[in-house]
Copies of this chain bind each other. A is one copy, B any other.
Amino acid sequence: MSVFSKLNHIFHPESVAIVGASEEVGSMGAMFLKPFLTQGFKGSVYLVHRNKTEVMGMKCYPSLRDIPGEIDYVIIAISASNTPELMKECVEKKVKVCTFFTAGFSESGTEEGIALENEILEIACANGVRIVGPNSMGIYSPATGLYLSSGLSSRSGSLGIICQSGGNAIYLSRVSEMRGAAVSKAVSYGNACDISESDLLEYFAEDAETKVIIAYIEGVKDGKRFYSALKKAAGVKPVIILKGGKTEIGAKTAASHTGALSGSANAWTAMIRQAGAIQADTLDELIDMAVAFTHIPPLRQRRVSIMGVGGGVSVLAADSLLNANLLLPPLPDEVKEKLQQKINNPGYIYTNPIDTLDLFKGMDEVRNTVEALSEWDEIDILIPHMAYDIMGIDPEIWIDSGLTKSIVNVLVDCIKKTDKPMAIVLHYVALAKTYQAFSEELRICCEAGIAVFLSMDAAGKALDKFIEYYENIG
């Protein structure tokens, strides 16, 4: 039986029990129970609590044994010392998979914790129960209605997330969805006592719903198997890896977080490259890569054209892309002439980057520029950009007038009408006034299936690695 068929059923339970549920703010009730009740899980949901009879208006059973129906999936949030007893109940109820939010196992470094982890693993293995964790947030599978936490989207996409850390899994899931790269399945796998990063790589490699895989990994127990799983997965779809604990103290922190043995940073870099996977340096770079691979067609050359408002912004945009090994070919005479015929704006600068000076001159200017650049054959990708906070007028004026929104709508319309690959940079800003416009316009772009990056630096880094991937696979 392939890993895929061994694991696939755990993503499709028909009934769920939450053990240790409560309803305080920040509690399991709010975190795990709420999405089951509100976000469309089609099966049965049961609560188990030794001392409670009701949580959030739902009946609580004193033990799994007392639940009348079958239980496929159990989320466990009781103290570690009580988990061996619970595992026996899981075996009795023929549970398919348990996810352990509970910590206090091998990552604690104590003999007791290590022994407990071995004990639950032994019971599970001997009886066909699979474990995610312990010390994990579990499984997010929006199509099924499984959630790592509340506040996650119920929209299903094609991004597979393998994440040793629960918090980072939530961050990656939330932010990638917001950036238009919705999740197929995400797994926060914690201490990896049973289901490991290698199992998950093999699973996601075969999972037809998953087109792109991103992973945050602190350490692996079986390096040889991991390399083989990574190579196999990277052979069929893009896999991007962020290694946590690359420094000495980071590694020590990882050990106390998930009990992971980190390995040397250089060895990881070499292994990832050799396996045909891609290395990311930050969580946000993982998301940038997910966005690139979700929305941009394969590129094998590095020629970029930039258009936007602002001289200084254009200078820095050019620096960012060139530093990222991209090319900015000079604007050919025929494109320049085409633009000059259509655009009468004394500040417009006919170079690459094009500085349109001010887009306030009208939407025709935006459309004419994009159309002319779309027909420029020697360019592989066009990047229009919008730098909200360099504009001289008060943000309130352009938010109220809908100016930047009109520009973004024209860009989206143009992108839909052309075959030229495009990405948009919406320079991310921190001001409350401009955030409002940024956020709304990001949503418009993402809903149209356009790759958006939040700075030219981020776009450059992502495109460099994105194109390198296609250069390597030829």
Q: Chain A interface (Cβ within 8 Å of chain B)? A: 25-26, 30-32, 34, 79, 103-104, 137, 148-151, 163-168, 170-171, 174-175, 178-179, 216, 218, 244-250, 252-254, 256-258, 282-283, 309-316, 318-319, 322-323, 328, 346-347, 349, 351-353, 355, 358, 360, 387, 389-398, 401, 403, 428-433, 435, 439, 442, 454, 457
Contact = CB atoms under 8 A, between A and B. Distances in A.
B253 A351 contact: yes
A258 B168 contact: no
A186 to B, nearest CB: 13
Nearest to A188: B312
A254 B312 CA distance: 7
Given A389-B175, A398-B26, A165 B311 contact: yes
Given A322-B248, A387-B167, A431-B175, A393 B30 contact: yes
B457 A282 contact: yes
Given A25-B403, A148-B392, A149-B392, 10 more contacts: A25-B360, A26-B391, A151-B433, A165-B311, A165-B313, A168-B312, A168-B390, A247-B322, A247-B323, A253-B318
Contacts of A26: 358, 360, 391-393, 397-398, 403
A243 to B, nearest CB: 9
Nearest to A150: B394
- Across the A-B interface, give the 6 residue pairs with the lowest CB-CB distance, nearest first: A165-B312, A167-B390, A257-B311, A26-B360, A151-B394, A149-B392
Contacts of A397: 25-26, 30, 150-151
> Copy number in this complex?
2
B34 A394 contact: yes
Contact of A311 (B252, B258, B309, B394): B258
A446 to B, nearest CB: 11
Contact of A256 (B79, B148, B250, B349): B349
18 contacts: A25-B403, A151-B396, A165-B315, A168-B313, A168-B316, A170-B391, A178-B430, A244-B312, A245-B318, A245-B319, A250-B318, A254-B315, A256-B349, A257-B311, A257-B355, A430-B439, A430-B454, A432-B435
A326 B151 CA distance: 35
Contacts of A179: 430
A253 B349 CA distance: 9
Contacts of A315: 165, 218, 244-245, 250, 253-254, 257
A389 B312 contact: no
A22 to B, nearest CB: 12
Contacts of A403: 25-26
A167 B312 contact: yes
Contacts of A430: 175, 178-179, 428, 439, 442, 454
Contact of A253 (B249, B256, B314): B314
Contact of A164 (B150, B178, B312): B312
Contact of A79 (B171, B318, B346, B349): B346
Contact of A310 (B104, B165, B349, B435): B165
